[in-house]
Each structure stands twice: as structure tokens, then as C-alpha cells.
Structure 1
């Protein structure tokens, strides 16, 4: 965007806000947003309020300039008016961190491209299906409904995993559920246990490659009576060059856990799911432990194999099965993959890294839960390390399975790095949240040259 066009855009947004009657109350709405879950230190709050007041005055006077666009984006987002930005085709985070899980299921927040980006007819093979450019969004709230699937497909994403569903309704954790982690601007060492500082009012500008986020949703799920119908519609929305996997999760212990995984997987299969992904990696399931959450199931190799074996037997042979793993150290992964390989069509990883997350005042960012999931650039080296070892184990074992890689994908270079290691598809959550145009940028940069295409025009 040129300086002149940016200035015109800012002034156009100001006129739109004035016409909607939103301009006068914009600073107060912004302050209400940044204090929604916790109050910044007074000097910081005063600085934010002063900046918003000045911005509103410039917009009202018609003399706001191109340099105001970053602040205007932040102010509108926290004031609850991000739809104004999206309506103008401007990047804005796709999930409303101030809104609840249910509100967000119904309405993706970011802009939607008028024409789906494609790689000029080139296709890639993923889990036995022919798909467009092999970039996607993993199982998360950004794929929680038909509305989200349609939104993501329109913006160029092809390999989508429907948000984890469960055999009965589960509410989300108490808000906040998702926050930026702007102090984490570089990757941590593989598998590192992080102490993250993240305030609910923190911000990272859309499209910033160094973005990291933390989340604690707790694997919420509508009741099967609700998600089954939505899933059927979502599968249609994926389109002829898209692939929609469905993530499922069981609950309980021992045989109860295995049986619930099987029952939920069969429900998804009956709704038409071509591939079932088993969520064995979630770091945010509540427990009565000191950290407030359980460790990922995949840390228990025997329990993991028991679930995968049972689900494979329970499903039709034509239905694909993918095991979703968290980052595992060398010994853990080397012991588990040979046992999983004969049972699955793919292995996905990594999930977020379970980390201790606190506000700048020392209180837990997420009430009652000091452990949460870290993602974005902070976990990039963990994803590269995991994918490199997983691909090597696939080659050494002689049993093929597809690799769905994710973690730290925030720009075309980080997509390409995972794909070059041997991943069959690459997915992004924090990157997709923070940059609604990420898929388009990857397709523009790599669509003509990405190797392993199976159909070329």
C-alpha cells in the first residue's frame, strides 16, 4: 500500500466511523476493551488512552495520516469494531479475543478475499487426496464451524482440520482464552519449557512474522447433535480442491477413554469425514493439578497406541486416520512412531507447547490455569526439530505415512522450511490468526515453484 493510498484508507475509515456514529465513543470503547480482563499499569493505560484520544481527534478533523493506520487497527480491534477494518479489506486478527467461544464460532472476524487464491491449477497429494496449495489451518477455533471453513477456503487455505469435537458438550475455559505474547519474538530451543509473560491487552500488528500467542480454551465442543450437522455442511464447503480432516477427542481413563475416542470417531465418519485426526496432544485439558491442566496423552505411549489401534479397527478401511502429537524428545518419538506407522495414514505435529503463562504483574494470564499452550515463532525450532526427526523415522521404518507439519509458520519462508524437510502439508494457527492473508502470500511466493506437485496445468 502506497503512502497516498494508506492515507486515503485512514481517512475513509474515519468517515465510515463518523457515519456509523462510532467516532465520539471510540477512545472509551478502546479503553473498555484493553481493561476487559485485567487493568494495565496506570502509566501504560494513560498512554494508551491518550493515544486513542489523539487518534479520534485527528480522524474527526480529517487530518489523520498513513502513520495512524497501525494504531487505528489496534484501537478498532479492542474497541469491538474490527468489522470496519475487515469490510475495507484490511488485515485484522481473525479471532475476537474479547468475544466468547460461541460468538466466534458464528463469525470469523478478519477480511475475506473476493477470489480464492490458487496455484494456477497445480495440485499436491495429501492423505490420498488431490488438493490445492498444501497450506492449511490445524484443529483450533479458527476451524470451528461451517462459517470458518468457508472463510478459510476463500482466503486460500486448502488442508483444514475441523476443530476437535467430543462425544458430549464441553464448555470453554473461563476467558480470556487467547492472547498475544509480544515478548516472544524468536524461537525457543526445541522442547524448551517457557515462562511466558502475556497480558490480555498485548498486541502484535497483523502480518508481523515474529508473532507468538498463548491460548487456553480447554477443548470446548458443542454437543454432537449440533456439531454433526455443521460438520456435514463444512465438508461440502471445503470444495473440490480442499481437504477437511476432523479432529476428535475422547475422555475418561483406560478402556473408557478408548471407547469414547472410538464412538466419537465413528460419529464423525458417519457424517462424511474422509479423515479422522485423533487429538492426542492437547496441553489445555483441565485437571485438579497445581498447573490446572493435564499433560498431553501422547506422552503415554501405551495409552496412545491403544487409542489408535482401537479407532483404526472401529472405522471403515477407506477412512483415513491421523495421529496428532505434541513435541516429543528423541527417545519418546523414536519409540512411538514405529508402533503408530502401521496403523495410520498420517502423523501431525506439533501442537502448542505447554508453558507457564503469567501477566506482567505476576498473576496467571488465564484464571486458575498457570499452564497454557504457546505457539507462533516461539515454537518454530521445536516444529523443525520434530518434523526432521519424524520424516527420518518414516524413511527408516519403511512404512509410509503422510506428515502434516505445523508450528511457527508465520510467513512463506517458515512454510517452505517445513515443506522442504519432507512434510506433505503445512498448517498454521497463530500465523493464520494474526495474518488473514498468510495463505495468499505463501501461494504468491511459492505457488509456481513448490516441488512435488502431482497435477500441473
Structure 2
């Protein structure tokens, strides 16, 4: 996709909007989007309305210029016109935060590169496989099905994790589910409790490395009769030098206890294996699972070392020895991480982390950003230092032990420098969620900057 000057890009988008009949009514569509889940304070809403109407007038008269591009991206995204930006190669977030989970399953937003970027003839070893440049997207809605896997695989991501699946269908939490956290523009220190202010209408310019987001999807899943054939198609969509892991999660639906939970993890893992999964990742880290017996959200399972070990042991016994196994952990303090990792190291082929940080998230008016759920997952630059801290400690435990496992690191990866920092800390692959959501060209830029110099590469076979 050939880059064009910003002013020319604005002109092309303007002509496309006119051709599609979208220019008339654009301010109203934008305002409907920003008030979809909550209403901004009146002065802020008035300012947004004035800006959108001014932009529409400049577009109509042909007077819009390159300075209008950031506002144009925001207006079109919240007006439901992100596909116009993507059609002209302009950055736009990959997920429609106004649409439902189901609506988004078949509709990745953002531009698709005409040719997958690669690092020449170089490969890296990840979980016993030879893969291209070792950047990926973790288990999240950005890998919710075949369309998403094709989208991100085509844009240069080589280590993808299919979104968590379950033994029965599970609905997502009520909308809204995802929002920018524009006030979080620097990293928290490791172990710090996060109190986040995020409004549903917040915005961070696509491509900014200072992006943070909050989400509260829960762990939605299609029924096995839907996700298994979709997984088969997704596995067929990745190239020989790309790896698609599959995240699974069990549940104790009837309150029978740990054995029932571990058995359900094993049941789902076998389903993924039957569909062709070469590597199964155990979701032991989700910060957004609703507690049906009380108000609020459950803590991640990996905080309970005994329960985690029981699940890992049960799944390892259930899977074929040729199927890889990865344990996905949330950020753990030193005592917890040291107590857990040596107990599972010989059972797994890899350990992934971190997940989003469970945080208290409120709107600027004090109400919960996600109604009924004050706790939600924080990601992006806000978790960069905790992710780096976790990765360094995890690698040190691996190096000090007798069992070798790969490390899949993630958290705060929004530009080539943050990718390189986690890889230099000892990660074998690095994944990004908020960065991939907010910048469609993140993988391309990392490959361009580091593809020929990133260490531990080997020649392609």
C-alpha cells in the first residue's frame, strides 16, 4: 500500500465519503457514536460537536487539509465509517468499540497490507517451530475467528493465539466492552494498584505509542460446534512460518470443585487438539471473569498455585505428547511467581504473560465505565514496566531451573522499542493487544526496524 501525503489522503477520503453518501449527516453520526454508552459533560460535548461540524464544512467545501487528518480519523471511527479510512490505507483502530462482539467477529477494521511483511529469509525458534519475525497477537477478541487470524497474519504477525474457547457457548459481558484510557500515557510501576479514569468516548490517535486501553469482555466463546470448524479454517489460513496457538479455559459450572474445573480445562484442550491445534494455551490469567455467586469479578486463577498446578497436570495428561502446552499467567509478585513456575516448568513448553492488569475503572463522572463491573483489564503503555519486570523474573527462573520452556511476553508493546525491550529481556516471542488494536502497521514497523538485526534469528530452511 503506497503511502500518500496527508493532504492527498484527506482529499481521497472526502471524495469517497461523497461517493458513498456519508458526508451529509457525518457530525450527527459522530455525536451518536460518542454518546452511545454515556453522555460527555455538556462543555465537552459542545466542543466535540463544534469540531465535527467544522470538519464536515471543510470537507464539503474542499478546504480540509492535512491538519484535519487526526480529527477525521476520530470522527469517522465513532461515526461508523472506519472502513473508509482503511480503504485508503489510513490508521484506524482494528475493533469497532460501538459494535457487539458478534458484529465484530467477521469484520476486522483497519487497512490490510497488500503483501505480508517479512524479515527477509530469517526465522526464529518458538515452541519448537520455525517462525517468521516473532511478533504476534495474544488471545483476545483480535483473534476471535478466521477473519481476524487472516487479517493479522497478512499484516505481519507470526505468533497468533486464537481467542479463548470453552466447552460450551458463553456470552460476552454487556456493552460497552472496550475503551481508550487516554489519561494513562505512562507506565505504572510493577505491583502498583491501578485506579483508571476512562470514558467511552475517549480517543488516542492511531499509531501513538502512548496508548492504553481498558476492556471488560469476560470470556465469551462460541459453542464448540461453531468454534472447532472455524479453528480448522484459521489454522489453514496461516503460512508455514506462522504459528497459531489456541487458548482454552475450563469452568466449574456446577460448583463441584477443583477436579471438575481441571477436567473441563482438559475437555476443551482435547477439543482444540482434535481441531488441529499444534499448541494449546491455558488461560489461567483472565481478569474479567464474572463471579456469578457475588457481585464483581473473580481474581485470576493463577493466583492460586495449587489450583494452577492441578489444571496444568490434568491437561498435560490429556493431550498428545506432540501437542505443545503453554500456561498463560497474569502479573505475579516475586513470592507467587517463584512458588509457581518451578512446579509447572517440566509440564509446559512455554509460559506466556502478562494478561491485562485487573484495575478499578471509572468514568470521569465517577460511574463505572463498564456498568456493574468496576474491575476491568488495563493494557497498553500503562502496563509496560510490569510486563518487563515479569518477563525478566520469569526468564531468570527459567535459566536457574532444569526445565527449558519458551517465554511469550506481552504488555505495553506499542512500537519497535517496546517490542525490542521484551525480546532483549529473554522472551522468545512478543505479542501485542492494545498496540495491534490501535496501530494497524505495528508489525510492519517492527519488522522494518528490527527484521535484519534482531538476535537469535536463523536462516530459513
How many residue pairs match? The answer is 457
1:286 alignment counterpart:
290
2:230 alignment counterpart:
230
Partner SS state of residue 125, structure 1: strand
2:396 alignment counterpart:
392
344, 351, 354: which one pairs with 2:355? 351
Shift of 1:3: 12
Report if aligned partners of 1:3, 1:66 keep a CA contact under 8 Å in 2. Answer: no
Partner SS state of residue 423, structure 1: coil
Q: Distance in 2 between matches of 1:193 and 1:420?
A: 27
Q: Distance in 2 between matches of 1:184 and 1:152?
A: 26
Q: Distance in 1 between matches of 2:3 and 2:169?
A: 49
Tell me the C-alpha RMSD between the 2 structures.
Answer: 1.4
Deviations 1:245-301, CA, capped at 9 Å, x for gaps: 000000013111011000000000000000000000000000157761100000000
444, 447, 458: which one pairs with 1:454? 458
Q: What does residue range 316-331 of structure 1 map to in structure 2 within 5 Å?
A: 316-331=320-335
Partner SS state of residue 375, structure 1: strand
Q: Distance in 1 between matches of 2:168 and 2:443?
A: 33
Q: What does residue range 183-332 of structure 1 map to in structure 2 within 5 Å?
A: 183-252=183-252, 253-288=257-292, 292-332=296-336
Q: TM-score under structure 1 normalisation?
A: 0.98
1:402 alignment counterpart:
406
Partner SS state of residue 174, structure 1: coil
CA change 1:67–1:289 in 2 (3 A) is: farther
Partner SS state of residue 313, structure 2: helix
Q: Distance in 2 between matches of 1:4 and 1:388?
A: 41
Report if aligned partners of 1:418, 1:426 keep a CA contact under 8 Å in 2. Answer: yes
Shift of 1:455: 1.7
Q: Are positions 1:95 and 2:95 aligned together?
A: yes
Q: Distance in 2 between matches of 1:398 and 1:34?
A: 53
Q: Distance in 2 between matches of 1:372 and 1:117?
A: 34
Q: Distance in 1 between matches of 2:294 and 2:378?
A: 19
Q: TM-score under structure 2 normalisation?
A: 0.98
User: Which one is further off, 149-158 or 1-10?
Assistant: 1-10
Q: Distance in 1 between matches of 2:191 and 2:291?
A: 22
1:152 alignment counterpart:
152
Deviations 1:227-252, CA, capped at 9 Å, x for gaps: 00000000011111100000000001
CA change 1:412–1:3 in 2 (3 A) is: closer
Shift of 1:120: 0.4
Q: Distance in 2 between matches of 1:8 and 1:429?
A: 30
Partner SS state of residue 123, structure 1: strand
Report if aligned partners of 2:272, 2:280 keep a CA contact under 8 Å in 1. Answer: yes
Shift of 1:454: 2.0
Q: Distance in 2 between matches of 1:256 and 1:59?
A: 60
Shift of 1:145: 0.5
Partner SS state of residue 342, structure 1: coil
User: Which one is further off, 7-16 or 107-116?
Assistant: 7-16
Q: Structure 1 residue runs of 4+, over 4 Å off?
A: 1-4, 288-291
CA change 1:120–1:2 in 2 (3 A) is: closer
2:449 alignment counterpart:
445
Q: Distance in 1 between matches of 2:89 and 2:338?
A: 46
Structure 1: 5+ residue runs without aligned partners? none
Q: Are positions 1:333 and 2:337 aligned together?
A: yes
Partner SS state of residue 185, structure 1: coil
Q: Distance in 1 between matches of 2:43 and 2:133?
A: 47
Structure 2: 5+ residue runs without aligned partners? none
CA change 1:392–1:28 in 2 (3 A) is: same
CA change 1:63–1:4 in 2 (3 A) is: farther
